[in-house]
Structure 1
């Protein structure tokens, strides 16, 4: 997977980055366990393989992002528990309230930045696409081809700030509770298209037995970074601890840990009995 820098200038001030001064001030103690934060909880989108999905036990999240956060946990010497708290919309509510500390994998939007702070760089990247039913496709070459048609996506899903604003102003989008429901509406002819990420969409289509019935169209509507973020209401949201997290995450990205995490997540999903 190709990594790239998040370049949108308007989000820079909302990303928790690193400076030489901060790194020097750590004096080799960057990953000492902070007394104010002995453990962390994290959640994310449970319909997002190979990035994340609900464990067989039903209580935790597994996948590439979970593997990466395990590496992060080991690096900062603070346990991070990947919790399943419900659908994607509920995950966002739990982080907003501070009942869960970390959002493990989210696109940047100004609305989300109101209740959580993003860490830079992005952990991983993914493309969002237009999904159509194989037996009733329509010509699609650009986002304007969606105007006047009926689409469906998952509640509180985002495709990045730019496309979200375009969709709000120009598209007819119905929002449903799950990707399962969205794909079944598409197959039944109750929607013209589904908006969702390519990799997770393909994984779920295969899981639902719909791989031959739906198709991801080109070009992608967006390509966005998946960021780690911390709730503004979390008791662990202190400047000292955020610097520790930012430092450790940056080093993991530089070491190629996200690519290895993706390989592990893909193997785990392929071996999962469903």
Structure 2
């Protein structure tokens, strides 16, 4: 394949999904698959990486996470437009009276609010979360708990309105070849770090 690509910052996560739905961008790299997203995105069913969703708390918080039920009574910060694994979304929905949810605009703000005590729990990708905590200078204020909340696969998805939808099969072949060479994780790490540099060290 010889398709020129460009990685661009288009705004917060809800906007990314919105413009992908409209076909204003061609695809999204690193996105969970769910029924709603499949309406406007064609997922290449070759998992890029297995992503762990973990609990972050303010350092020194005596909270112990043992199971999803441990979250009852907590105030959970969630990025606006973000979605968890569907089974976990159902759990949160069925315990709305016991788990308070605060919707927050940016990932950086999410962790700043956690460090300041305005929320007491964040559940996020350990890979992205650790990067944001590092760039925000919060490593001495926030800690990650074990065990993980769940793990799920990240995919590459093409907007159903993109002209590149016709190249789907070739893209899938190329992804498979790249994954077979174990290049994906190093590429994800490299591009995530480059992304933060482009943003001037600031997460969205």
The answer as to 2:114 corresponding to 1:186 is yes
Deviations 1:148-174 (A, max 9, x none): 321102112223222222222224322
The answer as to 2:166 corresponding to 1:166 is no
The answer as to 2:59 corresponding to 1:134 is yes
Matches of 1:209 and 1:137 in 2, distance apart? 22
Matches of 2:184 and 2:112 in 1, distance apart? 32
CA RMSD in angstroms comes to 2.2
List, as ranges, runs of 4+ consecutive aligned residues in structure 1 with deviation greater than 3 Å: 262-274
Moved more, 122-131 or 161-170: 161-170
Paired residues for 1:80-229 under 5 Å: 80-170=5-95, 171-229=99-157
Q: Secondary structure at the match of 2:47?
A: coil
Matches of 2:103 and 2:193 in 1, distance apart? 31
TM-score normalised by the chain length of structure 1: 0.66
Contact 1:159–1:222 (CA under 8 A) maintained in structure 2: no
1:245 corresponding residue in structure 2: 171
Deviations 1:171-206 (A, max 9, x none): 432221112211222222221201111121111112
Which of structures 1 and 2 has the larger relative contact order (alpha carbons within 8 angstroms, sep 6+)? 2
Deviations 1:54-92 (A, max 9, x none): xxxxxxxxxxxxxxxxxxxxxx10111111111111111
- Between the two proteins, the alignment pairs up a number of residues equal to 197
- Unmatched tracts of structure 2, length 5 or more: none
Deviation at 1:107, TM superposition (A): 1.0
TM-score normalised by the chain length of structure 2: 0.87
